[in-house]
């Protein structure tokens, strides 16, 4: 074991170094630790105090000196349990603050918002938001999204969408191969775009916002929250729907 292993328990670098040095000796004075570890005395004293607060170190007074003692290994578990209790309290507090935070954000939102998402996690975040809508429209559904996210993901997505009774309206690219049974429920309708109108992006329209997704290279998306932009792209969808062919 090395001091770096102790950092994985949540100790900072100097705490781990001092605690590791004390574990090697079992007990020692601060001066002895300074010599064995080779760091400034202030670092040793400061971090011994922190380790005492964490319950990992105690001390006894012998004459005029304090001798520091590394507590039994169970002290580490007790420290982590205390840390976990603190995190649980913070999570509870955050949950209680959510309504007030949302209220504050709703009063300060600008009329036009744009966000950039990169990577697989960003794309999944957008799709998760779509599953909170009542209805959505997509222009240019392509096999790139299936290749990126996988058939298992889309099967799960469609299952959740159906259970929530979310309506979907899809315009497939002409070369799209439906391998995951997209748009096969009564809540779905779809058409195929003519070959000359193949889209290189997927445009998702939902809940007063649009997401323009690019799957080539590192996937990325721009999400725009604006009612006028939403209605403009919805009209574009309706226009293309009129040009598209039934599957």
What is the per-residue pLDDT for 79?
79
pLDDT, tens only, 20-32? 888 888 888 889 8
Listing DSSP states for 74-123 in one string gives HHHHHHHHHHHHHHHHHHHHHHHHHHHHHHHHHHH--S-EEEEEEHHHHH
DSSP annotation of 195: G
Q: What is the pTM of this model?
A: 0.55
pLDDT, tens only, 171-183? 999 888 876 666 5
Nearest to 158 by CA among 140, 141, 175: 141
- Going from N- to C-terminal start, the domains of the chain cover 3-73, 108-246
Which CATH number is 108-246 given? 3.30.870.10
- Give strand pairing partners of 29: 67
The yes/no answer on whether domain 3-73 falls in CATH 3.40.50.2300 is no
% residues pLDDT > 90 (the chain): 29
For tokens 């949302």, the residue is 102
Contact, 66 vs 48, CB < 8 A?
Answer: no
Q: How confident is the model at residue 166 (pLDDT cuts 50, 70, 90)?
A: very high
Task: Please say whether the dihedral angle defined by the alpha carbons of residues 47, 6, 52 and 83, taken in this order, is positive or negative.
Answer: positive
């Amino acid at each position: 074991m090395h001091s770096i292993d102790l950092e994985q328990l949540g100790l900072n670098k100097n705490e781990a170094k001092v605690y590791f040095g004390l574990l090697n000796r079992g007990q020692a004075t601060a001066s002895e630790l300074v010599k064995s570890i080779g760091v400034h005395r202030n670092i040793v004293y400061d971090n011994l105090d922190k380790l005492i607060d964490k319950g990992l170190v105690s001390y006894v007074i012998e004459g005029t000196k304090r001798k520091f003692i590394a507590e039994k290994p169970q002290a580490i578990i007790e420290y982590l349990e205390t840390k976990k209790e603190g995190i649980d309290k913070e999570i509870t507090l955050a949950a209680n603050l959510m309504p007030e935070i949302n209220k504050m954000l709703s009063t300060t939102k600008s009329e036009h918002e744009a966000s950039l998402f990169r990577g697989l996690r960003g794309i999944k975040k957008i799709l998760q938001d779509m599953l909170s809508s009542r209805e959505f429209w997509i222009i240019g559904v392509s096999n790139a999204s299936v290749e990126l996210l996988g058939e298992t993901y889309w099967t799960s997505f469609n299952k959740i969408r159906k259970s929530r009774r979310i309506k979907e309206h899809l315009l497939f690219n002409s070369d799209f191969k439906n391998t995951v049974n997209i748009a096969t429920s009564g809540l779905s309708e779809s058409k195929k775009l003519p070959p000359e109108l193949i889209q290189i992006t997927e445009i998702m329209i939902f809940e007063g916002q649009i997401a323009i997704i690019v799957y080539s290279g590192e996937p990325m998306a721009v999400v725009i929250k604006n009612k006028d932009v939403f209605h403009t792209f919805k009209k574009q969808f309706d226009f293309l729907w009129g040009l598209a062919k039934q599957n």
